[in-house]
Structures are given as structure tokens and as C-alpha cells.
Amino acid sequence: MVSSVTSANDRPLIQIEAATKSFTPRGGRTCLALRDISLSIPAGDFLAVLGKSGSGKSTLLNLIAGLDRPTSGSVHAAGTDLSRLSENKLALWRGANLGVVFQFFQLLPTLTVAENILLAMDFVGKIPAAQRRERADDLLQLVGLADQSSKLPSALSGGQQQRAAIARALANDPPIVLADEPTGNLDSETAAAVAELFHGLIDQGKTLLIVTHDENLARGADRVIQLKDGAIVADERKTGARS
């Protein structure tokens, strides 16, 4: 197990202690997706998670996002022990504290771009109702889609959809943004634009965790951890990574 590296003065925003996750598919053998992972991530960090397929990257992300529960160990994020939350409270916590960006965008096809963002605010209730529309417009402005707000996702390109997804992830002003292969479905030019957006989030003080195969995206991270067979095999903090 490789010990985590943290900045001396930062209280960890995300703290994973001895987390293990195993799966037993129907009729199959139990497999360990994560083995005894411990990880501390301070606020404002930009962390890239690398590893081959099956190394446990997405599983790690799912634990931090509260999308799954560890078989053993604990996960604390944004001041909350996720294991103590009921499903209802976990959902609300997630909406208020996490923004999730998926590889395949996962925009709701029957809602316009703006409505996708507004729905996220409606679920959580953190943003006052009177301010939601304005906030949605601001977020779309931020990601460069102000003129696409009334379009349906099917009318947008892949890059535009991913930017809309990023805007949705920011809907409730979460301190943490998680992205699972956010550029995996994009061409290099669009991927670079999306990467630029992510850097902008760090400048706003967000904590960003990205699972990626994209070297360009990983290069911009403050810290890169490498997973192999469910364990952290490398954890490197870069100095002056963002430029």
C-alpha cells in the first residue's frame, strides 16, 4: 500500500480509510475491485486517477461519490461519513456536495439543456427557487452554451453535450466534482476545450477528481494516482502542474 500524500496544512476534504470493495457476480467468483485503499484529498486538489481497465478506478470514484458503499473501511467526504447516511440522505448529500460528469454525458433527452440543469437544482433544493433560472443561465454562459439553453441534447454535438453535463454537475455549487472518463467520447480538440473548463473549476476552488486515460488531461492535474489490481501503486503530487 502506498501512503497518501497530502499538503501539510490542508484538512482532507475526502478521506478514505482502508476501503475494500468486492463483487460477486451471479454464478461467478468473488473479485476484489479495491483492496485496502486509504486516500486523503485536500480541498482544491485536482486529482487524476489512472490505471488499466479493471484496475478499480471507477469503483474508487463510485465510493467517493456515494454511488456505492465499501465492503469494508470508511469514506468521509465533505465532512460526512457516507456510511452513516440512509439512501435518501445520501442522495441529498450527493446533490449538494458532488457534481458527477459521465463519459457518455447522460443528459436527460426529454429536457432542454437548461432544464437538465434546473432539474438538478429542483432535486436538491439548495439553490433558492427564485435564483435557479439565473444560475442556470450563468452556468451555461460559463461553459459557452448560453445560446443553446433551449435546445434538446439530441440537437447538440458531443462536445456541447459534455459541456452541458459539466454545467449540470455544477448546478448546486458542489465543492467536489467527479468525472469518469469525461473526454473518452470526444475528439482531441473538444477534449482540450473540456480540459480547459476543468481547469477553470479548480480556479474557482472546486476539488476535482477525474478518472481518465487522457494523458493531456492527466498532465494538468496536481496529483496523479495510479491503480493496479485494486490497489494504489503510485501517488505523485506535481508542482506547478497547472499552467
Partner 1 sequence: MITQWRKILGDFRHHRLQIFLLGLVLTLGTAGVVAALNARAILGREIAVSYASAKSPDIVLWFEKVDPALLDQVRARPGVGAVDARRTSLTRVAANSGEWFTMRLTVIPDFPNQQVALLHQHTAAPAAAAGIFIEQSGQTLLEKKVGDEVQVRTPAGEVARVRVAGFLHDTAVAPSTQDRAIYAYVAPATASLLGQNPEPDQLLVKMKERGDLGDATEFSEDLSAWLKNRNTPPLRADAMANTHPHAALMSTMLAVLEVLAAIAFTCSAALAAGMIAIWMKREVRQVGIMKAIGARFSQIAAQYLALVTPLGLASFAVALPIGTLIGRAVVKYYETSLNIDVADWSVPANLILKEAIFALGIPFLAMALPILRAAKMSARQAIQDPGIVAPTGPISLTAKLITMPGNRRLTFALRNTFRRPWRLTATLLALSAGGALLLTAYNTYESLMRVVDVSLASQGHDIEVQLQRPVAPAQLESVARAVPDVEIAEAFRRASVNIVADANGALSIAEGRRFLLCGYPPETRLIKLPLQEGRWPRADEPDAVVVNRLVQNATPGLHLGSEIALKFRERRTKMRVVGLVEEIGTPTIYTAFPAFEAVTALGDNSQVLRVKTSAGHEQAVASALDQALLDAHLAPSLISTRVEFRTALNEHFAVVTAVMKMIALAAALVGAISLVASVSLSVLERAREIGVIRALGATPRAVLWIFLIEGSAVALLSAVISIFGSIYFAQAINNKAARELLHVAVPLYVSRLGLMMLFSGALFIIIGVWLSVGRILRMSVREALAYE
Please tell me whether residue 106 binds partner 1 under the rule CB under 8 A: yes
Q: Which amino acid, one-letter code, is at 97?
A: N
Question: Cα–Cα distances in Å, from 176 out to 228, 229, 230?
Answer: 24, 26, 23
Distance of CA 136 to the CA centre of its chain: 19
Per CB under 8 A, the list member of 112, 160, 162, 207 interacting with partner 1 is 112
Alpha-carbon distance of 225 to 39, in angstroms, equals 10
The yes or no reply on residue 124 touching partner 1 (CB under 8 A) is: yes
Q: Which stretch binds partner 1 (CB under 8 A): 10-18, 37-45, 85-93, 225-233?
A: 85-93
| Of the residues 43, 54, 102, 238, which one makes contact with partner 1 according to CB under 8 A | 102
Among 9, 24, 30, 154, binds partner 1 (CB under 8 A): 154
Nearest approach in angstroms of CB 94 to partner 1 is 5
> Per CB under 8 A, does 64 bind partner 1?
no
Of 182 and 220, the one with the shorter C-beta distance to partner 1 is 182
Out of 2, 22, 36, 69, the residue judged to bind partner 1 by CB under 8 A: 69
